[in-house]
């Protein structure tokens, strides 16, 4: 029994050392697993605090500060930014998937669609599971769904980070990818801020949306890398 286990471990180590691509995918799997676990634990901690106390530590303080910044002009700007985290990303995701299919990047189209659509449904499931009411302190919009986690924050995180990731994946242009990444990051943070400003989310809703989006994005890529790793392992066994 020990000899069989030892042989399997030895063969696996030989497989890892068989190519640079194998080492890279395995490293990505380990790093992705670590990030997925950490983000899941962080989200669970916030969700637990919300279920037990309803209010998060910094919610009231941040809400009062952000509400003090309200002006008619800023409200118009925040309404527009909020729009970028809902209808725009749905339309954008649809256009990107169509373009990827037309360019015959079918695998990438499926992956992008899977990441975005499943992120959307995971957010709805979490809202229904936790059922946190919306803030009732001077809201500027009326939202009928539950508050936690913020759908705008989670969905915009998944969408805009996915856009930045796929641009780097296709171009391998570090300067362009860095510029796109920080532009997307600014959009994501602005959208989350706008939801608090408009009175439809607590800051903890937005934070949880970001963490939930990060968890799902990393986990989705982890699933893809696991499939790639399995195919590499299977092909190495067949070639022997």
- DSSP sequence for 181-192: HHHHHHHHHHHH
Residues 201 and 150 sit within 8 Å (Cβ to Cβ): yes
Reported as a single tens digit per residue, the pLDDT across 160-214 is 999 998 888 888 888 888 899 999 999 999 999 999 999 999 999 999 999 999 9
pLDDT of residue 55: 66
pLDDT of residue 128: 92
Residues 186 and 55 sit within 8 Å (Cβ to Cβ): no
Reported as a single tens digit per residue, the pLDDT across 84-111 is 888 788 888 888 888 888 888 888 888 8
Residue 115, judged by CB atoms within 10 A of its CB (0-12, 13-18, 19+), counts as buried
Share of the chain above pLDDT 90, in %: 40
Q: Which residue has the higher pLDDT, 105 or 155?
A: 155
* pLDDT tier, 58 (very low <50, low <70, confident <90, very high otherwise): confident
Q: Is the pLDDT of residue 12 over 90?
A: no
Residues 198 and 78 sit within 8 Å (Cβ to Cβ): yes
- Reported pTM: 0.87
């Amino acid at each position: 029994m020990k000899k069989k286990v030892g042989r399997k471990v030895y063969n696996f180590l030989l497989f890892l050392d068989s190519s640079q691509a194998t080492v890279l995918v395995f490293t990505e799997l380990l790093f992705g697993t670590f990030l997925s676990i950490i983000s899941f634990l962080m989200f669970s901690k916030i969700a637990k605090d919300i279920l037990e106390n309803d209010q998060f530590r910094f919610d009231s303080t941040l809400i009062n500060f952000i509400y003090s910044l309200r002006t008619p002009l800023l409200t118009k700007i925040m309404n527009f930014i909020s729009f970028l985290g809902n209808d725009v990303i749905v339309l954008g995701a649809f256009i990107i998937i169509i373009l990827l299919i037309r360019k015959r990047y079918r695998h990438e189209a499926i992956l992008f669609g899977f990441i975005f659509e499943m992120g959307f449904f995971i957010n709805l499931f979490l809202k229904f599971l936790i059922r946190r009411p919306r803030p009732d302190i001077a809201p500027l919009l009326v939202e009928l769904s539950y508050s936690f986690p913020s759908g705008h924050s989670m969905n915009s995180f998944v969408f805009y980070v996915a856009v930045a990731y796929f641009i780097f994946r296709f171009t391998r242009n570090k300067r362009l990818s860095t510029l796109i990444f920080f532009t997307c990051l600014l959009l994501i943070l602005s959208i989350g801020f706008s939801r608090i400003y408009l009175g439809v989310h607590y800051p903890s809703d937005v934070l949880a949306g970001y963490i939930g989006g990060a968890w799902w994005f990393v986990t989705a890529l982890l699933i893809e890398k696991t499939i790639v790793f399995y195919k590499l392992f299977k092909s190495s066994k067949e070639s022997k």
